[in-house]
A and B are shown apart, each in its own frame.
Chain A
């Protein structure tokens, strides 16, 4: 449901005329749909804490979880925009790699080194806008377009570093990859990567919920033909969402580059698109578009990070981690179906 939460709470008291039981039931359903997968996340955390004999809820481990979730959260935020319009972006992993390669290559030049960060982000934006233009103006299916750019941009990423790993141990702004923002000196700090991820979520929420563009994104995903007849520039909305997805993939590339001081066009960001899509779907955003929220995406990304971290803590082998994560994806889609059934209309 696109408009719940805050706006629901603000409903004028005089506007209601349904029976008390009906509004009560409606409120419970609203709550369930707003909370979404948050209970699952909490249960996972507590479960891993118990199974790992108290090693999950430690300051150090939570910092690791937040840091590991950061890049995927940023990618998934962009993916949320795209999936809300009923589309898909399979190319974010490749765009992340190409952006990181472009940034790192530039950072090696002494006179332009400081520009590497914006160049990374803009490289991502460029690829995203190309995706969007192909989809919006040539009316090609998003799956096909981004499947194509998944391969093509991966090739470009390899080309940028002549198919080698590019290092720069003295990369400017390295603090965003490995530093922490100190909240209380000596007691609490939060990794810069996580700060960036939370800011991205916050800005995404503002755009989706507080701007005209946000309503238009939901409208295009809910009913594209109706959106066109209602005077919405559907093509502009589509270019915007794929542009955002590309831009955030570029930002993700910069975050990875700063963290690793290196990038490899072949390996970096492989299959990151799948983690991003999983986070969005886990967060309750409908695959057909029009329904979903950015907070759900944050919860989804945290679930994935907690799963990876927890399974390692508990000592599950790398191989079984794959199996379990795969089953979680299928379970999430099953849940999506169930949720849609729950809101069946006449």
Chain B
């Protein structure tokens, strides 16, 4: 192979004494797709932000581009060094045209006036090269997610970038759009670009990766060549221990499955959810799997009364309950843990104490409205102990906690109402490995004590590791169910076949 285009040697980064990145060496060649994998918090985004210039690495390391030692500083530093990053949430201005977005910050002007014509002509060839089916004067707001990604790539090419970093680019794309994106990425590789491809999805890494580098806890734990890329090797590298012991699953309800606690029948919202029924029994952990956009979160929101229901009914312990708001769901014993704890779950400026007690304040109150502060403090302290929440004290604001501790605070709020049904939406998203394992034991213990639990997760090993059976959704409908039997373990293949609609091909 030729000389490397990007070399990182001993690059570290610490925040307030916590090492986010420890002496990472990374070598990327022109004309290769280099997959970067690792769990949340493994250091992927820190590494990216160093390459983009958003973070300055600790002294001691070195970054070389085409053999030249460089210092990447400031938000424009990365672009100046020939590095472009396409983030998960795209950074386009929807109210501007394609050409204006590509030229953003480097507009062509003649005597102070914007030269729109020249800008349109300037981006024409690049869009053509990428096979774009829209014109430079289209408003970005009118483009699909796949087309917007194309604009981002065009912007990178226009800036003459030699290294393109893509952070989970298929998250918001349909299957067809993903395929077109893959073809484009391969074309760019053939043209000699170096592509660093960050993804959680094994199938994408198989399809694209020339090499895979795995990060864990800020360290580079392994680099694999194409021939050595295997799922179990990568998972072991990412998790750092044998996967089977990572998931806590001691409780097995098969001997005596409890009575049905939650039954949702024919739920639909007229858009994303098209008639779904499911049942969860006492002491059972049921997984709800499916691709992004399959309607899992929407179904959960519908069950707890946070969506607009066009049909369907909910039964708790055999009795129909009319749930129109999340408040009524809580009263009926249904608690929902949101997938987006910062935007929809926590009150970041409020104390952990208030966050934990929020759902039971009215219940605890004296004379119906006066806060019982001793009770609240007691409850919060107990939650801190039993869920092992690490913070100075219960009075600190929730916003200052780490992701795992925030998640446990939010979970404590739900547990305070002693729910009959717990719906957990991506319970370990953005949570470090240690807290993940603790959350799995909490789930296991709750199931042991008879709570009915529904876990929505895109993390297949997780769902297989902790669930008794898995319901799979596809395009707003229940596609099927995979159960764990004595001789038939749950498999990723079985779930993916249902999620993608491939199960008919097997038959």
Contact = CB atoms under 8 A, between A and B. Distances in A.
Interface of A: 1-4, 7-8, 10-12, 15-18, 22-23, 26, 210-216, 218-219, 222-223, 225-233, 290-291, 343, 345-346
B394 interface: yes
Interface residues of B, number: 43
A230 B331 CA distance: 11
Given A212-B365, A229-B306, A230-B413, A18 B392 contact: yes
B336 A223 contact: no
A212 B346 CA distance: 17
B326 A230 contact: yes
B349 A290 contact: yes
Given A222-B348, A291-B349, A15 B393 contact: yes
A153 B343 CA distance: 37
Given A213-B369, A231-B330, A226 B394 contact: no
Nearest to B390: A17
Given A211-B370, A225-B343, A290-B347, 4 more contacts: A17-B392, A215-B350, A222-B347, A223-B348
A161 B351 CA distance: 50
A9 to B, nearest CB: 10
B197 interface: no
Interface in B333-371: 336, 338, 343-351, 353-354, 357-359, 361-362, 365, 369-371
B312 interface: no
Contact of A231 (B329, B349, B357, B365): B329
Interface stretch (B265-273, B284-292, B395-403): B395-403
B325 interface: yes
Contacts of B350: 2-3, 215, 218-219, 222, 290
A210 B365 CA distance: 10
Nearest to B335: A231
Interface in B383-418: 384, 392-397, 399-400, 413
| Smallest CB-CB A-B distances: 9 pairs | A231-B327, A18-B392, A345-B399, A3-B351, A222-B347, A15-B393, A212-B361, A231-B330, A211-B369
B458 interface: no
23 contacts: A2-B350, A7-B353, A7-B377, A10-B377, A11-B393, A12-B381, A15-B393, A16-B393, A26-B396, A210-B371, A212-B362, A212-B365, A212-B370, A213-B369, A215-B350, A222-B349, A223-B346, A226-B343, A229-B336, A230-B326, A233-B325, A291-B349, A346-B400
Nearest to B385: A15
B373 interface: yes
B373 A7 contact: yes
Interface of B: 306, 325-331, 336, 338, 343-351, 353-354, 357-359, 361-362, 365, 369-371, 373, 377, 381, 384, 392-397, 399-400, 413
B366 to A, nearest CB: 10
A22 B357 CA distance: 26
Contact of A215 (B345, B371, B394, B399): B371
Given A1-B349, A212-B365, A222-B349, A230 B358 contact: yes
Nearest to B341: A226
A219 B384 contact: no
Nearest to A1: B397
Contacts of B393: 11-12, 15-16
A231 B333 CA distance: 12
Given A23-B392, A215-B354, A226-B345, A231 B369 contact: no
B369 A228 contact: no
A345 B326 contact: no
Nearest to B363: A212
B369 A233 contact: no
Given A210-B371, A211-B370, A212-B362, A2 B392 contact: no
A14 to B, nearest CB: 9
Contact of A15 (B306, B357, B381, B399): B381
A25 B344 CA distance: 31
Nearest to B364: A212
A8 B362 CA distance: 22
Contact of B400 (A214, A230, A345): A345
Given A223-B346, A226-B344, A231 B325 contact: yes
Given A16-B393, A231-B327, A215 B377 contact: no
Contact of A3 (B338, B384, B395): B395
Nearest to A344: B399
A230 B360 CA distance: 10
A290 to B, nearest CB: 5
Contacts of A16: 392-393
Contacts of B326: 228-231
A223 B331 CA distance: 21
Nearest to A231: B327
B358 A219 contact: yes
Contacts of A23: 392
A245 B251 CA distance: 54
A213 B395 CA distance: 19
Given A210-B371, A211-B369, A15 B384 contact: yes
Contacts of A10: 377
Contacts of A290: 347, 349-350
A17 B389 CA distance: 12
A212 B348 contact: no
Contacts of A345: 348, 397, 399-400
A257 to B, nearest CB: 32
A8 B354 CA distance: 13
A173 B371 CA distance: 36
B338 A229 contact: yes
Contacts of B345: 226, 229
A215 B358 contact: yes
Given A7-B353, A229-B306, A218 B381 contact: no
A212 B371 contact: yes
A330 B143 CA distance: 41
A18 B373 CA distance: 23
A212 B375 CA distance: 13
Contacts of A231: 325-331, 359
